[in-house]
Chain A
Amino acid sequence: MNTLYRSMLGGRSGLIGLAILAGLLLIVFPLLLEPFRLNMMGKYLSLAFVAIALVMCWGYGGIMSLGQGLFWGLGGYCMAAFLKLEAARNIASEAGTDQIKALSTVGLPDFMDWNQITELPWFWYPFKSFPLTLALMIVVPTVIAYIIGTAMFKRRVGGVYFAIITQALCWAMEILFVTRQGWTGGINGITDLRTLLGWDIRTPSAQSSIYFMTVVGILVCIVLGRWLLNSKFGRLLVAVRDMEDRVRFSGYDVANLKTTVFCIAAAMSAVGGAFFVLNVGFMSPKLVTIEPSIYMVIFCAVGGRMSLIGAVYGTLAVSYGRTFFSEEFPALWYFLMGSVFILVTMVFPDGLAGAATRGVPAAWRWLTRNFREPPPAPATAAVKEAQP
């Protein structure tokens, strides 16, 4: 029990950090934000899953993936496929409506029908079942991460080369999903998702429930991440990051360690993608490509690449900034983002988390020094006198 408290919740200071985050997400935001903004937060939070995953994979393990959108997107597409089939079945049962008259093959997703596909492709079948969908949502990205990891890390591909390869893969996936219109919905993605097991996900009350589910998902990921990082595995990741050869010559299979953390990060990112689909009701290839993947790394860097909780704040801060600036000063945004990234990597490598863990105590000392009663000099004198 005591060890679990320390390893999963990070002891007292870890628990305080987690409680503050939980309070903010579960109480403050729902009370203060109007439904539209709260839903936006849910959308941002579904990206925070990737930022948390990157803390483990990049911050600790030193594996910079610039293609994490690939896994996030796969998770999202799995969930979207399930919802789309359910939507198609619902439409099929509403005989006589305009929507059904426009279709030539009833019961198929609309985009398949538009692409002259008359039968459901075989790989869509598993998405008829919800448990299978949930399983595939995790398994597919994990297996792909495993293949990439084994192929790259066994060959000692790392650093910038690995980052570029993940980016290329991400781009390849976008092209694949855009061009295979009949299978994936093409450039528009999978849209018009309505119900999850009969529950209308578009109503305000459903939206707020989904927001809370997303928050719970985030908190679970943080606790899980802490447990992993506080184990010997977590220390090994740091060791691999800083001195890979030493780990190898201590008898470890470094490629295997790297592949494992890359797979865990992929699975976690995929869960985020699925929550995204539930929050917004669609999935699109534009969301899985290079630019969003780079944003994910920025979220992580701004939050502090060694802090799981920081990753969430980083995601919220940058995403909010992006929305705000692109509404108000769209031209400025890219310059601002670029400068923030440079500043964070050069001056504040520990990001917001570093600022909080160092800045807050420093500010506190400064405050207490300047606004408290006169210096405690007499007190020490008294102590000295008291001692024989």
Chain B
Amino acid sequence: MIYPHFALELEELTVSFDGFKAVNGVTLYVSKDELRVIIGPNGAGKTTLLDLICGRTKPTDGKITFMDKTLTRLPEQEIVRAGVVRKFQTPSIYPKLTVFENLEISHPKGRTAFGAIFFRRTSDVVDRIHEVAKEIYLADLLETEAEKLSHGQKQWLEIGMLLMADPQLLLLDEPVAGMSVREREQTAELLRRICKGRSAVVIEHDMKFVRRIADKVTVMHQGKVLAEGPMDDIEKDPRVVEVYLGH
């Protein structure tokens, strides 16, 4: 039997907050080049699942493997250095720095204190910043303070910050929340473009958006995986309609 090679493997992942299992025995495999979307009602444990993968929360049980590397007990910055990056549900950018500086900080060069003190803004760094800025529709706003951006632009900036490190796996928590219809379309396009050659796990509520981007959908409910498969099958699944889509 031939086993397909997965990029991200979650096995029996469980976390318990004082006895409450926010994520309960989740097993999930994401292939290289796959864009997986996780849907589910509020409180299903979607955000917590991403927290576990990126190391913000440590699992009580189970195993996380990425590209044959065990991430389960690694400190956050080591997980990032292994190629796994995370976008938060509320845009997390540096409000007092310019778009340029936001992207520059996210460049992997000069990641230690001394490295940062002696960091030089070389042409390859500047080129990369311009490249990413163009990708996220912010090329004309490089000198703008990040706090002055619109909500949607802040979401893009954070995605751009992730791209600076040329990651292998993107974890995106509700990337189009609060965006206009036009911005949603641009974001869907952006995601399709940047996820080539990478894996991504995206949490989203907007079904239209999910249909546009997802390769495969996982439905979570009460900390467990309820269903998994292509969007067309998921939409017909009576259990999914019952707990989620029916609303």
Using CB atoms and an 8 Å cutoff, list the residues of chain A in contact with chain B: 228, 231-233, 235-236, 238-239, 242-243, 245-254, 256-257, 260
Using CB atoms and an 8 Å cutoff, list the residues of chain B in contact with chain A: 54, 56, 75-77, 80-81, 85-86, 88, 92-97, 101, 104-106, 108, 110-114, 116-119, 158, 161, 165
- Cβ contact within 8 Å between A242 and B96: yes
By a CB distance below 8 angstroms, the chain B residues around A248 are 76-77
Known A231-B119, A243-B92, A245-B88; judge A250-B97 contact (CB<8 A): no
The residue of chain B having its C-beta at the shortest distance from the C-beta of A236 within the complex is B116
- Cβ contact within 8 Å between A233 and B113: yes
- Cβ contact within 8 Å between B117 and A250: no
- Cβ contact within 8 Å between A232 and B116: yes
Nearest Cβ on chain A to B142's Cβ, whole angstroms? 14
A337 to B87 CA separation, bound complex (whole angstroms): 44
The residue of chain B having its C-beta at the shortest distance from the C-beta of A227 within the complex is B117
> Which 4 A/B pairs are nearest by Cβ-Cβ distance?
A251-B80, A260-B113, A232-B119, A233-B116
Other than the given A233-B113, A249-B76, 8 more pairs (CB < 8 A) read: A231-B117, A235-B104, A238-B97, A242-B96, A246-B158, A250-B106, A250-B161, A256-B112
Q: List 8 A-B contacts (CB under 8 A).
A: A232-B110, A235-B97, A239-B97, A246-B88, A249-B80, A250-B80, A251-B165, A254-B77
By a CB distance below 8 angstroms, the chain B residues around A243 are 92-95
By a CB distance below 8 angstroms, the chain B residues around A253 are 75, 77, 111-112
By a CB distance below 8 angstroms, the chain A residues around B85 are 249-250
A231 to B96 CA separation, bound complex (whole angstroms): 16
The residue of chain A having its C-beta at the shortest distance from the C-beta of B98 within the complex is A235
A208 to B234 CA separation, bound complex (whole angstroms): 83
- Cβ contact within 8 Å between B95 and A247: no
By a CB distance below 8 angstroms, the chain A residues around B81 are 251
A235 to B93 CA separation, bound complex (whole angstroms): 13
The residue of chain B having its C-beta at the shortest distance from the C-beta of A245 within the complex is B92
A228 to B117 CA separation, bound complex (whole angstroms): 6
A247 to B85 CA separation, bound complex (whole angstroms): 11
Known A249-B80, A250-B161, A251-B80; judge A235-B108 contact (CB<8 A): no
The residue of chain A having its C-beta at the shortest distance from the C-beta of B84 within the complex is A249
